[in-house]
Amino acid sequence: MASIDRSFPNILITGTPGVGKSLLSRTLCQKTGLTSINVSDFAIEKGCVEFYDAVYECPILDEEKLLDEMEDLICKGGVVVDYHGCDFFPKEWFDIVFVLRTDNTILYDRLTDRGYTGKKLEDNIQCEIFQIILEQARTTFEEEIVYELTSDNRNQLRSNVNSIFQWIQQWKLDNQEE
């Protein structure tokens, strides 16, 4: 972000459903004290849903209303946003973007365990295979703030949390007022 007058960075964690975004976000926020926003839950709580998609069995967001609801929180800083899409967020909101990726076999098992079937399952697996969210992040945000992280197991979760924690510590050093 251009002129930073926040004490903590804003982080976007994105990726295909089932890659571990919410778990990473919760774990990171427990370690750092940052505020976690699970966009799906937040949108429902704030009434930012246009309709329910019966094919994909999920709410379709009113993105403009959602962004209005999130703006004050983002301006304060110290927010970890977790969502499977990223192309509607203003690029100046985030200091860094992490795109989680998972092996397709692992992702298939995770999604079937969640009850995904048919078109919903197939489309999400294809989304991961074709790196749709990674490409979306790279075209939406400055490429130098977009990082890809592997999220196949608990060891990688711990490693990812520790890496992001170290990045936050460095961000704080780089952005503290003189």
Binding positions for ATP: 18, 20-22, 114
Radius of gyration, alpha carbons of the chain: 16
Please check whether residue 33 is in contact with residue 27, taking contact to mean a CB–CB distance below 8 angstroms: no
In sign, the C-alpha dihedral spanning 103, 34, 59, 99 is negative
Give the residue ranges of the annotated binding site: 18, 20-22, 114
C-alpha 152: how far from chain center: 16
